[in-house]
């Protein structure tokens, strides 16, 4: 009998031959600024654990206490029987944090974007989207059936042309990442919000990489630019600065009520284990109580960026803790990442299709948990490998 999945062997061979086949490195022990991947102790410049909270003792205790009090699972989809008091409490806290009327928890940032866009738009609607928006936004747009108009990255004039073309559509959504995940640059939010207003479009911002990182108290790019009254839908994630898992939408109450009725991840996928919601609340407590956490993240970011600049690396347009080391060629970027790993630094090589061809890079992220010594050592290794490979002189 022939194997109906035999085509997978051909697909995998093609991936291996083109050099883009990947299998993730294995982490032993805790997610930490210095930790052990594939048996090697490395300075970890890969994780989105911005504030170093992934193994914070108070967060661990909150998770344990919630297991003791509420068990390990919610038992059902939120809209059936899986809506626990701790989910509601987390949403109330997130709404206050984001200065919105209400918030809605999703299982991940991915489902928050995909579930929200596909719930509010349908055939005959138009979505106007930055070319470098996250995959979950792209999938949400596809699922919605709306027409897509993609404007070149951060090109406000092109966004305007897309909105002009969309005139007459039933609904128009203008959507952007707040901080772009592969480049670490920031959306031109004031200009985009002004366009949304002018054209009567819904304005949506994915602040996955800005929540806990940018804006007063870590409230994100919407707070950073003072755009609260001009952004209709804010998305955040609990899997990056919050160091656990989940996503959320923050906005006006009718939006949240509508999404509870119509967003498919809410209707068809089980809600968070209570321990995860408790962890997120504990993280929010820490973030609200200790502004020094975010200060440490930015001190480390400045130290590391200045070091890379002194060494002569091209870090693109980054303005945030996500700092790409631009390499260009795909094989070279992968080789650079591998050599860093051999020398004790874990920083991932990123190539097409995640970034455009010719723009392969090694992506670094520092955290509040790195010590200045960790970063000085990481810089020394980056410099040595960069010179060895001819990336810098
Ligand atoms: C910009 C952006 N939005 C959304 C997500 C998805 O978030 P999560 O990992 O919580 O699903 C990510 C992360 O991968 C991201 O980088």
> Is residue 181 flagged as an active site residue?
yes
**Any ligand 1 atom below 6 A from CB of 247:** yes
Instruction: Return the CA Rg of the chain.
Output: 21
**Any ligand 1 atom below 6 A from CB of 237:** yes
Dist. CA 197 → ligand 1 center (Å):
26
User: Catalytic pick from 134, 209, 305, 359?
Assistant: 209
Ligand 1 binding pocket mutation candidate from 110, 182, 280, 322 (most atoms within 8 A of CB): 110
Residue 314 burial by CB count (10 A; 0-12/13-18/19+): exposed, middle or buried? middle
Q: How far is CA 65 from CA 73, 105, 282, in A?
A: 14, 21, 11
Sheet holding 202-206, edge to edge: 102-106, 247-251, 233-237, 202-206, 172-177, 126-130, 147-151
Q: What is the pLDDT along the chain (393 residues), one digit of tens a residue?
A: 899 999 999 999 998 887 778 899 999 999 999 999 999 999 999 999 999 999 999 999 999 999 999 999 999 999 999 999 999 999 999 999 999 999 999 999 999 999 999 999 999 999 999 999 999 999 999 999 999 999 999 999 999 999 999 999 999 999 999 999 999 999 999 999 999 999 999 999 999 999 999 999 999 999 999 999 999 999 999 999 999 999 999 999 999 999 999 999 999 999 999 999 999 999 999 999 998 999 999 999 999 999 999 999 999 999 999 999 999 998 899 999 999 999 999 999 998 888 988 999 999 999 999 999 999 999 999 999 999 999 998
> Is residue 275 flagged as an active site residue?
no
The DSSP code sequence of 16-40 is HHTT----PPPEES---SEEEETTE
Cα 42 to Cα 388: distance, rounded to the nearest angstrom: 19
**Any ligand 1 atom below 6 A from CB of 130:** no
**Whole-prediction pTM value?**
0.97
């Amino acid at each position: 009998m022939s194997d109906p999945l035999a085509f997978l062997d051909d697909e995998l061979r093609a991936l291996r031959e083109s050099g883009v086949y990947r299998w993730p490195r294995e982490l032993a022990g805790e997610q930490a600024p210095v930790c052990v991947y594939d048996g090697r102790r490395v300075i970890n410049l890969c994780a989105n654990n911005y504030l170093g909270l992934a193994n914070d003792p108070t967060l661990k205790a909150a998770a344990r206490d919630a297991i003791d009090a509420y068990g390990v699972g919610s038992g059902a989809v939120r809209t059936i029987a899986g809506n626990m008091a701790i989910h509601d409490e987390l949403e109330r806290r997130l709404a206050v944090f984001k200065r919105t009327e209400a918030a809605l928890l999703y299982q991940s940032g991915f489902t928050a974007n995909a579930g929200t866009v596909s719930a509010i738009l349908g055939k005959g609607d138009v979505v106007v989207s930055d070319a470098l928006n996250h995959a979950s936004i792209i999938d949400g747009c596809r699922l919605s059936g709306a027409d897509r108009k993609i404007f070149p990255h951060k090109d406000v004039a092109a966004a305007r042309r897309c909105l002009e073309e969309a005139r007459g559509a039933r609904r128009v959504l203008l959507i952007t990442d707040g901080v772009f995940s592969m480049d670490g640059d920031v959306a031109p939010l004031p200009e985009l919000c002004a366009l949304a207003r002018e054209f009567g479009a819904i304005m949506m911002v994915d602040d996955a990489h800005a929540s806990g990182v940018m804006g007063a108290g870590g409230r994100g790019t919407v707070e950073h630019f003072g755009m609260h009254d001009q952004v209709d839908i804010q998305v955040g994630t609990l899997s990056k600065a919050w160091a656990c898992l989940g996503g959320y939408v923050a906005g006006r109450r009718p939006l949240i009520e509508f999404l509870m009725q119509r967003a498919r991840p809410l209707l068809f996928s089980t809600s968070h284990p209570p321990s995860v919601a408790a962890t997120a609340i504990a993280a929010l407590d820490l973030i609200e109580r200790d502004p020094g956490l975010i200060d440490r993240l930015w001190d480390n970011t400045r130290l590391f960026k200045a070091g890379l600049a002194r060494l002569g690396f091209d870090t693109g347009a980054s303005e945030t803790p996500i700092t790409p080391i631009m390499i260009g060629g795909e094989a070279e970027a992968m080789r650079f990442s591998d050599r860093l790993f051999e020398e004790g630094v874990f920083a991932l090589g990123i190539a097409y299709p995640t970034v455009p061809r010719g723009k392969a890079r090694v992506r670094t992220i520092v955290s509040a948990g790195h010590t200045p010594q960790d970063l000085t050592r990481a810089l020394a290794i980056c410099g040595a490998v960069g010179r060895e490979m001819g990336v810098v002189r």
